[in-house]
């Protein structure tokens, strides 16, 4: 009988896409993908390690199953904890990191093979409680992107680059996702054409730092032009840009390519130069402002969104205000605002001067309120302009 697998996804769009990839591979190997955990024999948690809160939620959810299902931990937490995950929760049967997701059907096959067998003479019953972990690979086989399995009938996430080599001091992504690697442009285009053949008309190109894309002579802006030229595609966008690699050419592409959505997500992180330096972001607040100034001049009426972290270690009240002032001045259409969360193994973890929880919460609330008013005002303005 076909075993049923439920995949529960946490974290970023990259993980959303990875869950589809895993679903596609499992279907190809004869498993059924179920829509809820109730009827599933196997539950796969595809997880995120970017903040402690994200990890805590997953640990508590896994704890709530109490041996009734086969539990797999995959994604960024799998890479972060490796075999230590089994110590944390004995209910977990397998642990597979993001670079090894192609092995999940095989790993699951092995687990199911030994499950329910009674111990042979002399065997410890524990030997049959098989635990498998895979977190060693550095490359994903290209084929995994071509199973044709997408959750949405109209829209597809398409990975253009994996990993990240930027090492922003607070961030766990380079450690759990490995260094930046680029997919070949011909493979990316072939995948999109396959999606179009299934009726998909909208695409989001994904990478931790899409502007750094490079395949031989094809840079990010050339890739955008190639995607724009695909027959049958109606609309596309990309996610995420890094200010140190964003450039005027890509803003011109947003203006000129008819299928490219007029929107830019450009994470600022902080408005203080001292904090930006400690974060290893590679730009000054002034340079960020210049960039968005040219974006707005080139892409008239284009939307702008950002990410900000408050309460980075040693951030003073004055430096926090610098961020607030930049937020006021810039008027982002939306901002994702995060409280700094210390991540084991990162450079920022070693900086003495983590702020108290209360202080981080206070600053977080303050900037949330500020941005809420700005977003509201801008939405109001846009709806008037449309009338």
Binding site for ligand SF4 (CB under 6 A): 164, 166-168, 171, 173-174, 208-209, 242
Residues in the chain: 387
Q: Which backbone phi and psi does 199 adopt, to 5 degrees?
A: 105, 0
Residue whose CB is less far from ligand SAH, 37 or 245 = 245
Helix (H, G, I), strand (E, B) or coil at 292: helix
Bridge partners of 263, per DSSP, are: 303
Residue whose CB is less far from ligand F3S, 98 or 299 = 98
Q: CB of 169 within 8 A of CB of 312? A: no
> Taking the C-alpha atoms of 145, 146, 147 and 152 in order, what is their torsion angle to the nearest 10 degrees?
70
In 116-154, where do the E strands start and end? 132-134
Q: Which of 19, 47, 80, 269 binds ligand SAH (CB under 6 A)?
A: 269
Say which entry of ligand SF4, ligand F3S, ligand SAH, none residue 48 contacts (CB below 5 to 8 A, set by partner kind): ligand F3S
Min. distance of Cβ 177 from ligand SF4 in angstroms?
8
When asked if residue 49 is in the footprint of ligand F3S (CB under 6 A), the reply is yes
Measured distance CA(201)–CA(61) in Å, rounded: 36
Q: CB of 36 within 8 A of CB of 6? A: yes
Handedness of CA 333, 339, 340, 344 (dihedral sign): negative
- 122-145 in b/e form (b: 16+ CB < 10 A) is eeeeeeeebebbbbebeebeeebb
Residue whose CB is less far from ligand SAH, 128 or 334 = 334
Min. distance of Cβ 242 from ligand SF4 in angstroms?
5
Q: Which of 173, 212, 264, 276 binds ligand SAH (CB under 6 A)?
A: 173
When asked if residue 12 is in the footprint of ligand F3S (CB under 6 A), the reply is yes
Say which entry of ligand SAH, ligand F3S, ligand SF4, none residue 309 contacts (CB below 5 to 8 A, set by partner kind): ligand SAH
Say which entry of ligand F3S, ligand SAH, ligand SF4, none residue 167 contacts (CB below 5 to 8 A, set by partner kind): ligand SF4
- Count of Cβ atoms closer than 10 Å to residue 95 Cβ: 25
When asked if residue 14 is in the footprint of ligand SAH (CB under 6 A), the reply is no
What residues line the site for ligand SAH (CB under 6 A)? 50-51, 170-171, 173, 208-209, 240, 242, 267, 269, 307, 309, 338, 340-341, 343
What residues line the site for ligand F3S (CB under 6 A)? 11-12, 14-15, 48-50, 75-76, 172-173, 176-177
């Amino acid at each position: 009988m076909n075993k049923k697998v439920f995949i529960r996804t946490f974290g970023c769009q990259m993980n959303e896409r990875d869950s589809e990839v895993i679903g596609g591979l499992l279907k190809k190997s004869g498993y059924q993908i179920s829509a809820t955990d109730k009827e599933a024999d196997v539950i796969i948690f595809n997880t995120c390690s970017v903040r402690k809160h994200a990890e805590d939620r997953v640990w508590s959810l896994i704890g709530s199953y109490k041996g009734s299902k086969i539990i797999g931990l995959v994604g960024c937490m799998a890479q972060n904890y490796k075999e230590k995950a089994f110590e944390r929760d004995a209910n977990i049967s397998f642990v597979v990191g993001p670079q090894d997701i192609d092995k999940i059907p095989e790993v699951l096959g092995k687990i199911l093979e030994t499950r329910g067998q009674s111990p042979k003479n002399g065997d410890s019953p524990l030997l049959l409680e098989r635990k498998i972990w895979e977190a060693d690979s550095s490359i994903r086989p290209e084929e995994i992107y071509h199973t044709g399995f997408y959750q949405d009938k109209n829209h597809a996430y398409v990975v253009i680059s994996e990993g990240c080599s930027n090492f922003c001091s607070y961030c766990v992504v380079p450690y759990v996702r490995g260094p930046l690697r680029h997919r070949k442009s011909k493979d990316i285009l072939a995948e999109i054409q396959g999606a179009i053949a299934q009726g998909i008309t909208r695409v989001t190109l994904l990478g931790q730092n899409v502007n750094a894309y490079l395949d031989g002579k094809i840079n990010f802006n050339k890739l955008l032009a190639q995607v724009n030229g695909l027959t049958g595609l109606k609309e596309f966008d990309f996610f995420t840009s890094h200010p140190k690699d964003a450039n005027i050419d890509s803003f011109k592409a947003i203006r000129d390519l008819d299928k490219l959505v007029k929107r830019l997500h450009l994470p600022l992180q902080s408005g203080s130069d001292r904090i930006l330096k400690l974060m290893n972001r590679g730009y000054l607040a002034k340079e960020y402002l210049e960039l968005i100034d040219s974006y707005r001049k080139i892409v008239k009426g284009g939307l702008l969104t950002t990410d900000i972290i408050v309460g980075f270690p040693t951030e003073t009240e004055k430096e926090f205000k610098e961020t607030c002032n930049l937020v006021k001045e810039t008027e982002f259409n939306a901002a994702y605002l995060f409280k700094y969360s210390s991540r084991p193994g990162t450079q920022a973890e070693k900086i003495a001067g983590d702020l108290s929880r209360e202080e981080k919460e206070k600053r977080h609330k303050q900037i949330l309120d500020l941005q809420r008013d700005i977003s509201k005002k801008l939405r109001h303005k846009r709806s008037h302009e449309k009338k």
